[in-house]
Structures are given as C-alpha cells and as structure tokens.
Structure 1
Amino acid sequence: MEEKVYNLNDVVEMKKSHPCGANQWKIIRMGMDIRIKCEGCGHSVLIPRRDFSRKMKKILVKHEE
C-alpha cells in the first residue's frame, strides 16, 4: 500500500464525518500527533499520526507553498 503524502494546511477527507455533518478537515499542526480542524464548525481534534494515516480517505486541496 502506498504512503499518502500530506502537508500543513492541506484539506483532507476522513473516513467518518464529524457530528456537525462536515467531512472536510484542515491540517493545522503536524508532529508526533496531527491536529485537524473541522471546516464546518471549527472544532479541532488532536490524533496520533498513525491513526490519522489510517483514518484519512483522500486529500481534497493541496496547500500551495
């Protein structure tokens, strides 16, 4: 299985949607853990990098540097 490449400020789609109904998340912090922010309601969640890689479905918007 190929490794998904994602960076800071990318917008990703997760396998499960947020309770507010939105399924778009923005990566706002990267490190050992990754903090993602819901694009619908603004709630942020901190999850381990391993779990994030497993739960991410696809990258919707790549951040231009």
Structure 2
Amino acid sequence: MDVQVGDLLTMKKPHPCGSKQWKVLRTGMDFKLKCMGCGHEVMLPRVKAEKNIRVIEREGKSVC
C-alpha cells in the first residue's frame, strides 16, 4: 500500500474523539499518525494501520 508522509487517512473505526481522519507524520515499519479531530499522536505497526485504512487522500485527491 502506497502511504506517504502528509497523506490523510480515513480509518474504519473512529478515534474516541469521534474523528476518523488521521494525518501521516512518519512512515516505515511503524506509522506515526495525528488525529485531525483532537490532535492526539499515535504510533501504529504498519500492518495494523494498513488493515484499518478505508481511504487515502493525497492533496485533495483520493488514492484508494
């Protein structure tokens, strides 16, 4: 899956704040994601993050 820094990800399940949008801050074996609702930052293993992605948006364009 082609995920790059700066992409907006829409996940399957919402964060406890209610937002499903996450911004990618770092990629590699783990993803560092920032919640677009409350600003909380989390590190997730790449496999777990890719499994839960619904849509990848890159600069206004939908990639997946």
TM-score (norm. length: structure 1)? 0.84
Consecutive unaligned residues of structure 1, counting only runs of 5 or more, are none
CA RMSD of aligned residues (A): 1.5
Gaps of 5+ in 2: 60-64
Q: Residue 12 of structure 2 corresponds to which residue in structure 1?
A: 15
Once the 2 structures are TM-superposed, how far is the Cα of residue 45 of structure 1 from its aligned partner?
A: 1.0
- For 1:48, the aligned partner's letter is P
CA distance in structure 1 between the aligned counterparts of 2:51 and 2:4, rounded to whole angstroms: 16
User: What percentage of aligned pairs have identical amino acids?
Assistant: 42
Distance 1:31 1:5 in 2: 11
> 1:39 is aligned with what amino acid?
M
Aligned residue-pair number:
60
Q: Take 1:50 and 1:20, find their aligned partners in 2: how far apart are those partners?
A: 23
* Shift in Å, 1:31: 1.3
The Cα offsets for residues 34-53 of structure 1, whole Å up to 9 and x where unpaired, read as 01000010001100001111
Higher RCO, 1 vs 2 (CA within 8 Å, ≥6 residues apart): 1
Dislocated runs of 4+, deviation >2 Å: none
TM-score, reference length from structure 2: 0.85
